[in-house]
Structures are given as structure tokens and as C-alpha cells.
Amino acid sequence: MYGEGVNETATQMTEAADDAPACPPHGGPGGAEPDMAAALLRLSTAVQAIYTRVSEKYELTAVQARLLCILLDGPRCMADLAGRLGVEKAALTGLMNRAERRGLARRGPVPGDRRAVQVTLTATGREAALAFHDEVTAELARLTAHLAPADREAFRATIAGILHRCGIPHARAHQATDR
């Protein structure tokens, strides 16, 4: 059902993670450590390359994959989706047009609000979202598989703290029980 080929661009992005631009030598705002900032940029590049490579394997763009994963938590209003995806409503409309043509998601009325529109996953969209999520999760888990359990927990806690300071809420894990 989904393409098996992996775009060479994503592979090149993974290889380019070592060459990701470093922060200026003086650090960032507030005197951030240049080595730490550069490491975070390189890690971000590597993670995005994995995300892109896996999304392409499922014939999705990265933003389509993100849309499907957001919808795993349940229906969302178009305005909420636009905010979560960081896109304008017109761009979301185009994204939804393509998702509907592929049978991945559908728009419908919001009960009790005639003007609002909500988006839900179709069975095909849910299958694609779960497969994508599982594969990305497995690939990302391999990045830290070599860490001792205590180091892995410290890394997880550090990431959680950084995300909390960025205002990014803790996401629910999509377990096999969600299927």
C-alpha cells in the first residue's frame, strides 16, 4: 500500500547531520554554550532526517505525517490543527484536500457548532499514522539503545525539562493498545 523506496535526500540529510551549522562561537542569547547549542542543532537535524525518511517511505510529507500523528489523539478542529502545525488556514485546507483525496482523513461538522469543522482519521489514515509512529519510534529508540538505563532516564528527563521550558506539553504515547 505504501511506497518501499526511501528518498536519497533524506539519507543525505542524515549524513549531513555531522555538518549541520554550528552556533556562533560566542554562543546564543543569554550566553548559551556554543558546543551544547551546536550539539542540539546536530541532533535536531538527525531526528528530522529520520522523520523525513520514514514519512517518505509511507508516501507522506513530513507535515502530513505530523497531521496524522496529531489526529491519533482524536478529532481536532481546523483552527487547532493550524496552530499545532504552525501553518495558515489556507495551507491547512490544501493539506486536508490532499489527505482527503488519499483517504487518510476527513472533515466534518463539530457537534453543537455549525460553523466549526473538525478533522478525523479514516481507518486507512489511522493505520498509516500508527505504522509511521511505530517505525519512527523504533528508529529513534536505536539512537539511545547503547545508553545504560540510568543514562537513558537522565537523557529522557533532560529532554522533558527542555520541552517543558519551551512550552511543549508532554505527548501521549501511542501504544499497540490504541489499535
pLDDT tens over the chain, length 179 residues: 333 333 333 344 444 444 544 444 454 555 556 788 899 999 999 999 999 999 999 999 999 999 999 999 999 999 999 999 999 989 999 999 999 999 999 999 988 888 889 999 999 999 999 999 999 999 999 999 999 999 999 999 999 999 999 888 766 555 443 44
Q: Please, what is the angle between helix 123-144 and helix 62-71, to 10°?
A: 110
128 alpha carbon, distance to own chain's centre: 14
Task: Give the integer Cα–Cα distance in Å for 25 and 173.
Answer: 38
> What pLDDT does residue 8 have?
38
Retrieve residue 8's grid coordinates. Answer: 536519497
Domain boundaries defined on the chain: 1-57, 58-178
Distances (CA, A) of 157 to 46, 70, 151, 154, 166: 20, 23, 10, 5, 14
Sheet architecture: strand order including 113-121 = 76-77, 113-121, 105-110
Is 58-178 CATH 1.20.950.20? no
